[in-house]
């Protein structure tokens, strides 16, 4: 191995360390981006995903239980309502988090 070959890994490690230090403020420290979207379209997308996820998970659990226990449509209706409530609660929490991150009042 020549001297130039041994310098390449050190140089790469130093450049990688410098890049991570420069981008540390853009991430949450775990490797992902912050939870608050930066655009209004991002806010709408996040809030709609929070609501739809609750509905889909609750409805899916209810559908599965109905098929397993043969109680159609009781479990579907119950768990769909629970999923809707959970989705709305998640939307409220996410909206409060976004409001807090943007410097607004917490509303408590």
Q: How far is residue 69's CA from residue 15's CA, in Å, rounded to a whole number?
A: 59
Ordered by start, the domain boundaries in the chain are: 1-34, 36-108
Report the pLDDT value the prediction gives residue 30, as an integer from 0 to 100: 45
> Phi and psi of 27, rounded to 5°?
-115, 175
For 68-81, what is each residue's pLDDT tens digit? Answer: 999 999 999 999 99
> At residue 31, does pLDDT exceed 60?
no
Report the pLDDT value the prediction gives residue 105, as an integer from 0 to 100: 67
Which are the contacts of 10, defined by CB distance < 8 A and separation ≥ 6?
none
User: What whole-number percentage of the chain has pLDDT above 70?
Assistant: 77
Higher local confidence (pLDDT), 6 or 49: 49
Least confident of 1-5, 44-48, 83-87: 1-5
């Amino acid at each position: 191995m020549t001297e130039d070959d041994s310098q390449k890994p050190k140089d790469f490690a130093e450049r990688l360390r410098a890049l991570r230090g420069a981008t540390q403020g853009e991430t949450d420290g775990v490797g992902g981006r912050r939870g608050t979207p930066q655009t209004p379209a991002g806010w709408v997308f996040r809030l709609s995903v929070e609501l739809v996820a609750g509905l889909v998970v609750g409805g899916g659990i209810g559908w599965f239980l109905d098929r397993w226990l043969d109680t159609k449509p009781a479990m579907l209706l119950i768990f769909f309502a629970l999923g809707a409530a959970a989705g709305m609660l998640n939307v409220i929490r996410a909206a409060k988090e976004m409001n807090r991150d943007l410097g607004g009042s917490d509303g408590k």
